[in-house]
Structure 1
């Protein structure tokens, strides 16, 4: 993917509905990669520390970040910190260089007052909000200059402790399901998975 339109099309398919927060996260993720001078993560070259929480818009924002950066829960290179902020830190794992990116307060505040959010507050699902409400909000996000949309912090150095992948599994002594060995618990019944150890 090279153009914003390609990233957006992929993000839309992945996310499942049109909304303002996903493209905000997409732009934020692309800006963070540009600031660090890195390419999209194919494996675990990058790591995201998302400051979002469980709120709906926060989840949409993270889907945009994942689309842009290639950091996913499946690859275990994204972590949610539950600060309930529309912000995240992107880390280049190889160099330890990092950058924190957040939505500008003005943009976040205006978005919360938008007709789209009024519909969401009324209980309308995002996919059921009329295009004449959704599309202008998204177009605005596409066009707003980066410096008016995002706070991009200074590049900082962080220390990362590298964790190696585990590629061995054994059956749980109780349920019999194969479990990666680093998560088996030693008990009187033998080596058991976490649910059976409770």
Structure 2
């Protein structure tokens, strides 16, 4: 979860669905769109809020995940708990000898690659440079990089709002977990035993 800042909605244009937040510690006003408000409600002028600071595709600062001051932002704990549970299960299976240590190592390596791909794509979007294909990001997730991709979506605020992308992303997660479950089954284990590189 990103660092949260405090501020006051200093101008809100309800018909246009956007406005500005004046930070409590001073500085220039921060643009905020109605989509940034976590709660399904209409903001108002002079309302104290907390927010995360992000950037749009052109690198301009904007407020994200805006909440009334005093309300906790717990949304990120769900995905972190999911990733932690998955990692602990993999480590426990390897520790107990149910499988080798290649699955944890595989997921770690692919997750780092996926996070880097998201970071480079976000930087390219800001600088109007060549972008990473969405199909490439999905393939990284499908082959095991989805934990790193999920962290990147939340930490970097990249590809986290496009509905079509997230639908395909979660489909790749489901397919990957199904494939992993099969590989850990008796038929899958027999196949893995025929691959000496994974059992060396």
Under a length normalisation based on structure 2, what TM-score does the superposition of the two structures give?
0.24
Query: Whose RCO is larger (CA < 8 A, sep 6+)?
Result: 1
Structure number with the higher helix fraction is 2
